[in-house]
Structure 1
Amino acid sequence: MIITWEKVVKNFILAGAFGALLSLPAIAAQSFVETLDLTQYRTDVKTLASDAYGGRAPLSEGEQLTIAYLEKAFKEMGLKPGFGDSYLQPVPLAKISADQQMQLDIGGLKFANGSEFTARTQRVVDKVSLNNSEVVFVGYGINAPEYHWNDYQGIDVKGKTVIVLVNDPGFATQDPLVFKGNAMTYYGRWTYKYEEAARQGAEAVFIVHETAPAAYGWGVVQNSNTGTKFTLVDGNNNLGQVGVMGWVQHDVAQKIFAKAGMDFDTLKQQAAKPNFKAQPLKLQAQLTLKNSIERAESHNVAAILPGETRADEVVMMHAHWDHLGTVIEDGKPEIINGAVDNASGVAGVLALARYFKQQALTAPLARSILFSAFTAEETGLIGAQHFAQHPSVPNKNIVAFLNIDGMNMNQGVDYILRYGEGVSELEHYLDTAAKAQGRVVKADPRPQNGLMFRSDHFALAQQGVPGLLFMSLGDTDPDYIAHKYHQGADDYDPNWSLAGVSQDLDLIASILTALANSTDWPRWLESSDFKAKREQDGRN
């Protein structure tokens, strides 16, 4: 359903006093659509997702082309640099390229890299080895006191290899009283699995892949975890992190457990119940990662539109610029261009920046807007983590973080997706903007995918900054997740109507206007570390 402006105006009038209170967003929304240059938007997406940019991998020639393109665009708009006198923030990375001829041996069973398992490390060392490492199954690998759950209780995994299940017990049981039922918690994310295993002293983690609880197929795992990877580096060369970050196919796990005289699928069912006891498999793992290491700087990019009366208070508008670069498929190089994920989002940020810069000539905003594009999101929100730790403005001065990670390139729809429910007051802004467009707010249809934890806004949330995620991956294109997401088919398509882009950028523009002209500091609603951090900063 395409939304007409007649319907927008009608719904705005019907919204009554509350809608009138936020009349500025409705006006901004109408003028935004009138000024949106979809030809320029197409050019931005087509350029960033072209083969010449090589899939926009950090530390590649594609990065240099990308950041130069963004810097030039911001300069031409007349926006000020976002990092003092520079549009660029250096992000020191280690580029780790493991020898892909590696082979995993568990209990004498040998498995092939890429097709049966993946393994990488974030330790900045030439070699990581598992030598007769004892293998233990620790269920979901979760230690969550608030849920009265500890898969590591009664087992010492120091120096050992642990096998864990993807997602969390709520998804497995579909019981809303277990964790959050079908909706993934952070305990279900692969990042958490590795973090907790490191805290427990494990040397290696292998997550068992299954498409439904992971929310993506093995091809995504393979493309995201083989070849060259990137990491931030701490003062100890990341030696405190788990040595091997791995995945195995479901049938590989079945073979391993059968070798141990156990049935994997039976143990998987048991692991979803409280008080599951970790199971030593009495098998040993052998694996060697031989790494080539390069230290270099990638870059976050940002430009700022200063506010007129409260310039120190900042609303952020963001999309990550990076993608997966070039990978080897069936022995041949393939460029993973990431047109929807996330050239579409970066082009959206540029379109919003052009609009607000022009609007500021006659109607300056009270607060500043920082337009940003970070590096290395696909490797684990690395650019966002670096910014969160080294922000260009204090985190306590960031009002909200609006994040685009894939736009609706097709026809407009009569709804907008909300990721998370009862999380922060930013949801009220989304409700109001959607109502003004004659749209409804629709709950995330796939809460089990854990999208709340899978994009750059999460790194800022960990610092207490509330955010909104705008993502349409697979929602208006049912074929996207299965055949395009993190694959070579995510290319620019000249047949895209872009009606959905126009519609959603219009909605985002109204929210930005409301936040930038308000004195409001949107609060976290549910108890969390995010809320506690914001309260420490005196903003909740």
Structure 2
Amino acid sequence: MTTYLKYASLALAVGLFGCSEQPTPSADEASTDKLSTSTLETVNIDKVRSHIKTLASDEFLGRGPLTEGETLTINYLADEYKKLGLTGSFNGNFLQPVTMAKLTPDQNMTLKVGELSFNAGSDFTARTQQINPEINIAGSDVVFVGYGINAPEYNWDDFADIDVKDKTVIVLVNDPGFATQDDTLFTGNAMTYYGRWTYKYEEGARQGAKAVFIVHETAPAAYPWGVVESSNTGSKYTLIDQDNNASDIPVMGWIDEQAANEIFAQAGFDYQTEKANALKADFKPLDLKVKAELTLKSDISQAQSHNVVATLKGSETPDEYIVIGAHWDHFGTKQTEEGLKIYNGAVDNASGTAATIEIARILSEMHKKKPFKRSIIFANFTAEETGLIGSEQFATGEIAPTKQMVALLNIDGMNVLDGVDYILQYGKGMSEMEDYLAEAAQSQGRHVKMDPRPQNGLFFRSDHFSLAKQGVPSLLFMSLGDTDPDYIAHKYHKEADDYSPQWSMGGVKQDIELIVDIAAKLANNGDWPKWKAESDFKARRLQDR
């Protein structure tokens, strides 16, 4: 499993890095700094369109991991990279095995808190990533620890005055900045990693808790209870470490707000009052003076999926890598009373996968004319939609140590409509790569536009985050709803995300050119972009470099 974050609040930035001081470039080097004009006509939109149409066709069955759709997808991608003359990155192979555990929690369970009983699905959810078929909580003290945050850089520690070892912990979702909309508290409306549900479980594990239950509220979570229920009651996948994930929190849970109100009332407290108290840095954890009981049974199996990885070998420093990635998977199929539904994921993320192939084609042609000094890895990750699993495997350094990765440029949904005069940036003032992004956009006559939904914490929900946790600065290209308002409401993660021959693909062309520009510069200029803000990201990179 990847290393946990300690000071991860700056994770809100999509680790975009930029230029450190460089010597005056030679004429040859200077020519690579204006790539957007020289590559302007090289993007073959017909090829990109064809790749999207194929990958998002019904024949590929929604590209579900561990299905026939996976077999078709990974073979298609490997063949395309092979045609370009690239080499396989995994011991000469284009397929990197990703062994996953499939865990399905038995929903015939009841959570008891004091005299109260709650039903699985409607009142609470519980699952685990430990490879353990049965986890029992019996007589576990229940405590409320506010937002469950330990953030030294904000002088904030919700665990300062309590030992939660083997206890059942109740925490709030998101962080105090969102709750108050105070820009001086954490980062205000913009979610930090401390607000992400994954952090709550990670910190709970570090503190030795037996279970962590997050109180769901729609606004701070950014989705209704139905999303929590559907996402946590079915099968989930995880990587397996040498200890069968024993360091993970035993029980990862959610409870709905009504259940929280009842639990607090039973203990003689008012949930809303205690929630307000948790907004203060001097908040004191609350012992609810009740015990929790739960038996969590899980059906566990193992299966092997694959990342698709290809390398363009550098001529001078081949052991330094630029990584360009996109996840190939989507949600596969679902049998319903109306028949078989296929979730083709044309925008998310057949578009990004197709763009990766086209970028590889362009860069390989450039490499033939004048070899890049550094190597470039093209990676299409599996199981992003079920927990960033493929990129987590990639981040273990099995293909290349992360300390030798200069940067990751991650594509997760492209603008398949007309070109626009901006490029979205996720995060602000976090790393030097922002300068690269701004320069490449300016050369196209575009400007940088900040993430319009920073409260949703998109940085923590795509594959670059797996690399960022290992210190690799990463840039996210995501364009899902900013040019098509109907997409999020009616197509995102739905059956309607289908390919359309009516797409103009102007935005795809723009962003491919921009990514080529940045990647080619980094592949030649010797720069190691740096994190700016203090964080475990920065600490890890400083340790490695």
Same fold (TM over 0.5): yes
Q: Equivalent residue for 1:268?
A: 275
2:393 to 386, 396, 404: 386
Closer, same or farther: CA 487–157 of 1 in aligned 2, 3 Å:
farther
Alpha-carbon shift at residue 190 of structure 1 (Å) = 1.2
Is the counterpart of residue 296 in structure 1 residue 303 in structure 2? Answer: yes
Q: Equivalent residue for 1:254?
A: 261
Is the counterpart of residue 512 in structure 1 residue 487 in structure 2? Answer: no
Preserved contact between residue 216 and residue 482 of structure 1 (Cα < 8 Å): no
Is the counterpart of residue 216 in structure 1 residue 223 in structure 2? Answer: yes
Percent identical residues: 59
Q: TM-score, normalised on structure 2? A: 0.88
Q: TM-score, normalised on structure 1? A: 0.89
**CA–CA separation in structure 1 for the residues paired with 2:439 and 2:397:** 33
Q: Equivalent residue for 2:345?
A: 338
Q: Equivalent residue for 2:141?
A: 134
Closer, same or farther: CA 389–78 of 1 in aligned 2, 3 Å:
same
Q: Equivalent residue for 1:35?
A: 42
Alpha-carbon shift at residue 95 of structure 1 (Å) = 1.3
Is the counterpart of residue 432 in structure 1 residue 439 in structure 2? Answer: yes
**CA–CA separation in structure 1 for the residues paired with 2:36 and 2:220:** 38
Preserved contact between residue 25 and residue 433 of structure 1 (Cα < 8 Å): no
1:148 to 151, 155, 161: 155
Q: Equivalent residue for 1:470?
A: 477
Closer, same or farther: CA 359–423 of 1 in aligned 2, 3 Å:
same
Alpha-carbon shift at residue 225 of structure 1 (Å) = 2.4
**CA–CA separation in structure 1 for the residues paired with 2:227 and 2:40:** 35
Q: Equivalent residue for 1:317?
A: 324
**CA–CA separation in structure 2 for the residues paired with 1:294 and 1:234:** 15
Moved more, 131-140 or 46-55: 46-55
Q: Equivalent residue for 1:375?
A: 382
Closer, same or farther: CA 344–276 of 1 in aligned 2, 3 Å:
same
The letter for the 1-side match of 2:32 is: L
SS in 1 for 2:260: helix
SS in 1 for 2:466: helix
Deviations 1:113-172 (CA, angstroms, capped at 9, x unpaired) = 444433211011112233344332211111122222111232232222222111111111
SS in 2 for 1:361: helix
**CA–CA separation in structure 2 for the residues paired with 1:508 and 1:296:** 34
Preserved contact between residue 319 and residue 346 of structure 1 (Cα < 8 Å): yes
Deviations 1:429-452 (CA, angstroms, capped at 9, x unpaired) = 101111011111112222222223
Preserved contact between residue 463 and residue 533 of structure 1 (Cα < 8 Å): yes
- Mark the runs of 5 or more structure 1 residues left unpaired by the alignment: 1-16
Preserved contact between residue 122 and residue 231 of structure 1 (Cα < 8 Å): yes
Alpha-carbon shift at residue 322 of structure 1 (Å) = 2.4
Alpha-carbon shift at residue 107 of structure 1 (Å) = 4.4
Q: Equivalent residue for 1:94?
A: 101
2:238 to 218, 231, 234: 231
Moved more, 38-47 or 103-112: 103-112
Q: Equivalent residue for 2:13?
A: none
The letter for the 2-side match of 1:362 is: K
RMSD of aligned alpha carbons: 2.7
Alpha-carbon shift at residue 33 of structure 1 (Å) = 4.3
The letter for the 2-side match of 1:485 is: Y
Q: Equivalent residue for 1:45?
A: 52
The letter for the 2-side match of 1:353 is: A
Deviations 1:325-351 (CA, angstroms, capped at 9, x unpaired) = 446889997544433222221111111
The letter for the 2-side match of 1:150 is: D
SS in 2 for 1:356: helix
**CA–CA separation in structure 2 for the residues paired with 1:187 and 1:446:** 17
**CA–CA separation in structure 2 for the residues paired with 1:485 and 1:521:** 35
Moved more, 271-280 or 477-486: 477-486
Whose RCO is larger (CA < 8 A, sep 6+)?
Answer: 2
Closer, same or farther: CA 441–268 of 1 in aligned 2, 3 Å:
same
The letter for the 1-side match of 2:511 is: D
Alpha-carbon shift at residue 303 of structure 1 (Å) = 0.3
Q: Equivalent residue for 1:3?
A: none
Preserved contact between residue 142 and residue 152 of structure 1 (Cα < 8 Å): yes
Alpha-carbon shift at residue 416 of structure 1 (Å) = 0.8
Q: Equivalent residue for 1:490?
A: 497
**CA–CA separation in structure 1 for the residues paired with 2:182 and 2:337:** 41
Q: Equivalent residue for 2:4?
A: none
SS in 2 for 1:162: strand
Preserved contact between residue 43 and residue 512 of structure 2 (Cα < 8 Å): no
SS in 2 for 1:510: helix
Preserved contact between residue 223 and residue 486 of structure 1 (Cα < 8 Å): no
The letter for the 2-side match of 1:453 is: F
Preserved contact between residue 325 and residue 411 of structure 2 (Cα < 8 Å): yes
The letter for the 1-side match of 2:386 is: T
Preserved contact between residue 220 and residue 487 of structure 1 (Cα < 8 Å): no
The letter for the 2-side match of 1:184 is: M
**CA–CA separation in structure 2 for the residues paired with 1:489 and 1:136:** 43
The letter for the 2-side match of 1:174 is: Q
Q: Equivalent residue for 1:7?
A: none
The letter for the 2-side match of 1:243 is: P
**CA–CA separation in structure 1 for the residues paired with 2:68 and 2:421:** 40
Closer, same or farther: CA 51–271 of 1 in aligned 2, 3 Å:
farther
Closer, same or farther: CA 443–157 of 1 in aligned 2, 3 Å:
same
Moved more, 197-206 or 152-161: 152-161
